[in-house]
Amino acid sequence: MIDFHCHLDLYENPTLVSQRVVAEGLYLLAVTTSPRAWAGTRALFASLPRIRIGLGLHPQLIAERYAEVDILCELVSQARYIGEIGLDGSAEHLANIELQTRVFRQILSVCAKDGGRILSIHSRGAASAVLDELERCPGAGVPVLHWFSGSRKELDRAIALGCWFSVGPAMLRGEKGLTLAGAMPRNRVLTETDGPFAQERNKPLMPWDVVLAEDRLGKLWGRPPPKVREQLLQNLQTLTVPQS
Ligand SMILES: [Zn+2]
């Protein structure tokens, strides 16, 4: 199983969660919301098998923490995965979208200068704006759009730009998410939970709940769960930054 976008450090008891992640044999990308959290998260979990740590600065924190972009940029050389980064155009965060865009652009350009990275990207209410930035900076690496909620047209544009997608149980609950997921190239799809933020039945999703996403993808693809898992693991193996 794969949880490619999980806020492992934000669970009530991250160590306990990480122990079960290891026991279940999950592949997990622990994204961070600020570069200050990256070092601590790395110290706790980076030595565990199949767990990787993303260096991030969440767009919803930009208003207070934009200055941390400089810390992030200095750490890029040490990180293989970058995230959670991106843009948030929802009502609550739209006021600072310009600042968010400057920060996102700066991160992408540092990644590009250093050969590109695998990027876990938030694009709520800002899919077109995120795609504009990715298009401006094609060397930034491989964008994995997490919980994509743009329009069908924006999805087609993302696919044409080479984006990957991580989809979770929460996204696959509704009709819109299912329709989008059904249109994504199967060889560029990964599963995620976005736990503990994303929930199922009023409880935070746990990394092993990606099984729910596998089930829903299976129905969508008309394939049995073991075949879905096989496809997802194959996808993960091919997810690398192309050498320029
Ligand atoms: Zn997230």
The domains located in the chain, with CATH, are 33-199+226-238 (3.20.20.140)
- Per-residue pLDDT of 122-131, as tens digits, reads 999 999 999 9
Determine the angle formed by the axes of helices 127-136 and 97-113, rounding to 10 degrees. 30
- Per-residue pLDDT of 86-104, as tens digits, reads 999 999 999 999 999 999 9
- Per-residue pLDDT of 176-228, as tens digits, reads 999 999 999 999 999 999 999 999 999 999 999 999 999 999 999 999 999 99
The Å distance, Cα 69 to ligand 1 centre, comes to 18
Separation of alpha carbons 51 and 2, rounded Å: 10
As a whole number, the mean pLDDT across the chain is: 97
The Å distance, Cα 119 to ligand 1 centre, comes to 12
* 3-class DSSP assignment, residue 190: strand
Separation of alpha carbons 102 and 1, rounded Å: 35
The Å distance, Cα 59 to ligand 1 centre, comes to 10
The Å distance, Cα 183 to ligand 1 centre, comes to 22
Which two three-digit tokens encode residue 203?
Answer: 């409880």
The Å distance, Cα 84 to ligand 1 centre, comes to 6
The Å distance, Cα 111 to ligand 1 centre, comes to 20
Separation of alpha carbons 172 and 30, rounded Å: 21
The Å distance, Cα 120 to ligand 1 centre, comes to 9
The Å distance, Cα 193 to ligand 1 centre, comes to 9
The Å distance, Cα 169 to ligand 1 centre, comes to 13
Q: Are 5 and 193 in contact (CB under 8 A)?
A: yes
The 10 Å Cβ neighbour count of residue 221 is 15
The Å distance, Cα 85 to ligand 1 centre, comes to 9
Q: How confident is the model at residue 244 (pLDDT cuts 50, 70, 90)?
A: low
Separation of alpha carbons 166 and 121, rounded Å: 9
- Per-residue pLDDT of 21-35, as tens digits, reads 999 999 999 999 999
The Å distance, Cα 180 to ligand 1 centre, comes to 19
State residue 111's pLDDT score: 98
